[in-house]
């Protein structure tokens, strides 16, 4: 079986939950079972990439423009059509308005599914114009996939779709087991610099992530906060820390490597993800906290964050935009290591039961089989490197050290 995934960016340009979910999906399936082709846009396209995973290949075309956080390309039509012609299923990852144009290139009879990753929250104009168009588009697909039962119940868009169309497949996390020595070295270096037992804010400080709330919460705890990830508004966050009188207890690390991320998770007391908008639909970093046996503190925003984290079982769930409640939860885990350890064990067990890459892959494989069966198609054998022609694109190979 060959599945063609489509999303606006790949991890080489910008890390994100969607990219990591696609990678985990490919990694969770047995080698040779399903070939996953990731079609995307890049500023330096066209190129193709063969990652370490034999089930995955990446094909990028040049990004032409970006408007209202939406990426477009004038070079996508023919390459996408060629890949779609060889696919058994086209899997869109939404929201991304450009897929409406790409969808016209899919041959008749090829099943199309979409993972609905998040409602549009940050751009009221785009929401008003695009949401009705997206809803009509979703109704024409073979399946629409929510990433948690909570999001399926609370998304206005998903609630308006036919019940039989919407399925649920919670995301999973790929955990590689070949970096133990590297993580230990990074752990030693970071421990010398940061110590241990801090609160960890992991990920880019986008507006919906609640970075300012996390800093304000330090007024209500004695803990230190380490903010690791692309800090798009660092000046504003540093100014807020100074104004709140907590600048001496905030450490900014900006972007960190995969190895450094796992070292930080090992060193921290708890993960903090105080997201404030439904743009935070799932929160893969919360799952990663469970992988590392660390509790997570998040907010109840009616999305998958409170599905991943069970209050009192795997971490704490507090109201959004409530610095006092967030600070109290941080202080509780900061001053009670035994409780933090118990919640961390609960988070690890929940990860093992629900959020492994294999569990995610199994859920998606059943959906793929179902929609192919409904269309009466027989999936073809695959090679992730096959394509209809040689277009002279840059051929890249991802090397993991």
DSSP string, 153-218: HH-HHHHHS-GGGEEE----B---SS-HHHHHHHHHHHHHHH-SS-EEEES---GGG-HHHHHHHG
Domain of 111, in residue numbers:
2-173+356-384
Residues 152 and 211 in one domain: no
Same domain, 57 and 166: yes
Same domain, 350 and 362: no
Query: What average pLDDT is seen over the chain?
Result: 90
Average pLDDT of the segment spanning 246-271: 94
Among all chains, which residue has been given the structure tokens 């690890």? 348
**Angstrom distance (rounded) from CA 330 to CA 310:** 16
The string of pLDDT tens digits covering residues 84-117 is 999 999 999 998 889 999 999 999 999 999 999 9
pLDDT of residue 8 exceeding 80, the answer is yes
Question: What average pLDDT does range 123-148 have in this prediction?
Answer: 90
Q: Answer for the pair 288, 296: CB distance below 8 angstroms, yes or no.
A: no
Same domain, yes or no, for 241 and 302? yes
In a domain, 397, yes or no: no
* 225 pLDDT above the threshold of 90: yes
Domain identity same for 360 and 350:
no
Whether residue 144 lies inside any domain: the answer is: yes
Q: What is the structure's pLDDT at 233?
A: 82
| Beta-bridge partner residues of 168 | 146
Is there a cis peptide before residue 46, judged by omega within 30 degrees of 0?
Answer: yes
CATH code for the domain in which residue 201 is found: 3.40.50.2000
For range 248-263, the mean pLDDT = 92
In a domain, 399, yes or no: no
CA–CA separation, 88 vs 104, rounded Å? 16
Instruction: Single out the residue in 336, 354, 372 at which a domain terminates.
Output: 354
Instruction: Check whether residue 184 and residue 205 sit in a common domain.
Output: yes
* Same domain as 362, residue 326: no
Residue 285, in any domain of the structure: yes
- 166 and 197: one domain? no
Query: Does residue 116 lie within any of the structural domains?
Result: yes
What is residue 386's predicted lDDT score, i.e. its pLDDT?
Answer: 46
The helix (H) or strand (E) run that includes residue 297 is strand 296-299
390 within a domain of the structure (yes/no) = no
The verdict on 250 and 101 lying in the same domain is no
**DSSP strands (E only) in 18-132:** 35-42, 47-50, 56-62, 65-67, 70-72, 89-94, 112-116
CA distance 216 to 136: 42
Query: What is the spatial distance between Cα 151 and Cα 281, in angstroms, rounded to a whole number?
Result: 7
Same domain assignment for residues 163 and 224: no
Q: How many domains does the chain have?
A: 2
Residues 242 and 148 in one domain: no
How much is the average pLDDT of 181-198?
93
Residue 391 falls inside a structural domain:
no
Is residue 331 assigned to a domain? Answer: yes
Shared domain check, 344 and 373: no
Query: CA 98 to CA 340: how far, in whole Å?
Result: 44
The pLDDT tens digits for 46-81 are 999 888 888 999 999 999 988 777 888 999 999 999
């Amino acid at each position: 079986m060959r599945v063609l995934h489509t999303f606006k960016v790949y991890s080489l340009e910008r890390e994100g939950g969607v990219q990591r979910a696609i990678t985990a999906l490919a990694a969770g399936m047995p080698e040779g079972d399903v070939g996953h082709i990731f079609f995307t846009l890049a500023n330096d396209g066209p190129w193709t990439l063969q990652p370490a995973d034999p089930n995955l290949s990446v094909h990028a075309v040049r990004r032409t423009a970006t408007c209202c956080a939406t990426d477009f390309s004038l070079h996508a039509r023919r390459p996408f059509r060629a890949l779609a012609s060889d696919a058994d299923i086209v899997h869109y990852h939404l929201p991304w308005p450009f897929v409406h144009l790409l969808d016209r290139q899919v041959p008749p009879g090829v099943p199309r599914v979409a993972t609905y990753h998040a409602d549009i929250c940050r751009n009221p104009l785009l929401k008003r114009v695009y949401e009705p168009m997206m809803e009509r588009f979703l109704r024409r697909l073979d399946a629409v996939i929510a990433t948690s039962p909570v999001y399926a119940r609370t998304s206005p868009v998903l609630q308006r779709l036919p019940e039989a169309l919407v399925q649920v497949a919670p995301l999973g996390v790929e955990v590689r087991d070949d970096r133990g020595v590297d993580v230990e070295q990074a752990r030693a270096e970071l421990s010398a610099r940061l110590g241990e037992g801090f609160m960890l804010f992991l990920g880019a400080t986008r507006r919906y992530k609640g970075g300012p709330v996390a800093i304000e919460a330090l007024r209500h705890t004695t803990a230190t906060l380490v903010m690791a990830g692309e800090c798009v508004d660092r000046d504003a966050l540093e100014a807020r820390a100074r104004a709140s009188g907590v600048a001496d207890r905030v450490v900014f690390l900006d972007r960190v490597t995969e190895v450094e991320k796992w070292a930080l998770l090992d060193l921290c007391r708890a993960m903090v993800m105080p997201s404030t908008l439904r743009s935070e639909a799932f929160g893969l970093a919360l799952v990663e906290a469970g992988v590392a046996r660390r509790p997570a503190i998040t907010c109840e925003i009616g999305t998958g964050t409170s599905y991943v984290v069970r209050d009192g079982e795997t971490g704490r769930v507090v109201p959004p935009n409530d610095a006092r409640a967030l600070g109290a939860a941080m202080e509780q885990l900061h001053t009670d290591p035994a409780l933090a350890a118990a919640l961390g064990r609960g988070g690890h067990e929940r990860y093992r039961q629900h959020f492994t890459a294999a569990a995610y892959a199994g859920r998606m494989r059943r959906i793929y089989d179902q929609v192919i069966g409904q269309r009466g198609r027989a999936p073809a054998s695959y090679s992730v490197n096959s394509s209809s022609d040689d277009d002279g694109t840059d051929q890249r190979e991802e090397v993991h050290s």
